[in-house]
Amino acid sequence: MELIEITQQFPEQRLEDIEAAVKEEVGVHLQEQQFPAGSRIAITAGSRGIYGIDRMLAYTVETVKQFGCVPFLVPAMGSHGGATAEGQRSVLEHLGITEETSGAEILSSMEVAHVADTANGIPAYMDKNAYQADGIIAINRIKAHTAFRGSVESGLSKMVAIGLGKIKGAAFIHSHGSLQMEGNIKDICRTCLEKAPPIMGIGIVENAFDQTAIIEAVRKEQWFEEEAELLKLSKQLMPSLPVKELDVLIVEEMGKNYSGTGMDPNIIGRWRIDGVPEPVSPVIRRIAALELSKESFGNAQGVGLVDFITQALFDTIDRHTTYTNALTSTYLRRAMIPFIYETEQKAVETALNSLSAEDTDTLKYIQVPNTLHLHRLYVSPAVLQEMESQRLSFDTGEHFTLSFTDEGRLSRRLLRP
């Protein structure tokens, strides 16, 4: 099969001075709150691989200290890290977030406080260390969620309701299903904003190249409205595949550092949630994933979204971590194991042959490094032809033939050439 390297053109909005933006946004809030000297301020640290998050947390810590307060970090990641205090601290360490790099103590615990019941009778839980602080700064990337649609999805509200809620809060929200998730997240977050220590949010929006585009403070008085506006901007900047219908998608590497679901369902068009209709587009007939990223630490949540995987990927799965994540989310199908093949060659060729196409050159085939970085792709002539007919903005590179090494690995890769 012939393939062509292409480079998609996406909006390149980018924030040049991250340090200045963080310090300004955090400083404005602290000045408004006028915390007494010595006040303890909890700063959330999530499990996502956000660009520059270690530096952003360090800048936040520095700013809090400048106002005479005492900052500390709390892991805010629901059930991730195997739902243990040690596991969550380890996740932060692998993201480059330590007491040394941040300049603040990390208080990792799975113990939660019952903040209050919401107006709808739902219990709101919060990390006990954060709840006992004088103030809380929630920091998170704002983007489309992988299981529901709403005015707020993955971002600050979720960080407060699920991240700070630890496994107890996360399990309760997920147990009601994705159709009620937005309402429950907002309900619990609203209660925390009213009943917990003063909370401010720092919303991060990234562009299609995984770079910081926007950093903006969100105040509790306009919390949901301001987060909703940032979500709209995020969706305008997010990457996408160049065509809406595809025969085969090859994902070189999946993992939690690319999406909470290993592969972004918004990109591949698969929810795999009982009772929830699949997206109308994109439609992809076969998907193969070849490797699990080291940054996932064995968490293969989302592996059930694909049809074929390699033995190498399967061998890196930590079942305990993966199962804990899947059971907490209640999306069990997303962790079910697909067909396993000894080599990348077997997985890719099986994906192609399973379609019973007489001429593979007519198939719409795309190879991506992962579902987060989509500016450089390998595409088949059929995809290129459709892109040209739609007059999409892209540049073309080298033409080559799909091939494999003697060990059965892809000869050409985007992620690790």
Same domain? 217 vs 80: yes
- What is Dmax (Cα atoms) for the chain? 74
Same domain? 233 vs 294: no
Same domain? 132 vs 264: no
Out of 217, 237, 257, a domain closes at: 237
Upstream peptide bond of 277 is cis (omega within 30 degrees of 0): no
Q: What is the CATH number of the domain that holds 162?
A: 3.40.50.11440
Q: In this structure, is residue 196 part of a structural domain?
A: yes
State residue 276's pLDDT score.
84
Is the Cα dihedral 409, 413, 416, 417 positive or negative? positive
Same domain? 201 vs 316: no
Q: How far is CA 209 from the centre of its chain?
A: 14
Same domain? 103 vs 186: yes
Q: Which of 289, 266, 298, 43 is nearest to 159 (CA)?
A: 43
Q: In this structure, is residue 411 part of a structural domain?
A: no
Same domain? 212 vs 307: no
Total domains present in the chain: 2
Q: In this structure, is residue 216 part of a structural domain?
A: yes
Q: Domain range spanning residue 341? A: 240-401
Q: In this structure, is residue 5 part of a structural domain?
A: no
Q: In this structure, is residue 1 part of a structural domain?
A: no
d(CA 19, CA 228): 24
Q: In this structure, is residue 316 part of a structural domain?
A: yes
Out of 237, 271, 301, a domain closes at: 237
Same domain? 215 vs 329: no
Same domain? 229 vs 251: no
State residue 417's pLDDT score.
67
Same domain? 233 vs 245: no
Out of 180, 209, 237, a domain closes at: 237
d(CA 290, CA 341): 10
Same domain? 168 vs 229: yes
Same domain? 122 vs 164: yes
State residue 47's pLDDT score.
83
Is the Cα dihedral 309, 80, 271, 370 positive or negative? negative
- pLDDT of the chain, 417 residues: tens digit per residue: 999 999 999 988 999 999 999 999 999 889 988 999 999 999 999 988 899 999 999 999 999 999 999 999 999 999 888 889 999 999 999 899 999 999 999 999 999 999 999 998 989 999 999 999 999 999 999 999 888 889 999 999 999 999 999 999 888 888 777 778 899 999 999 999 999 999 999 999 999 988 999 999 999 999 999 999 999 999 999 999 999 999 999 999 999 889 889 999 999 999 999 888 898 999 999 999 999 999 898 999 999 999 999 999 999 999 999 998 899 888 999 999 999 999 999 999 999 999 976 677 789 999 999 999 999 999 999 999 999 998 888 999 999 999 999 999 999 999 976
Same domain? 214 vs 253: no
Q: In this structure, is residue 409 part of a structural domain?
A: no
CA dihedral 208, 210, 215, 218 (to 10 degrees): 80
Q: What share of the chain is helix, strand, coil (3-state, %, to 5)?
A: 40, 25, 40
Q: In this structure, is residue 412 part of a structural domain?
A: no
State residue 358's pLDDT score.
67
CB burial of 282-320 (b: ≥16 within 10 Å; e: otherwise) equals bebebbbbbbbbeebbebbbbbbbbbbbbebbeebbeee
- Neighbour tally for 17: CB within 10 Å: 10
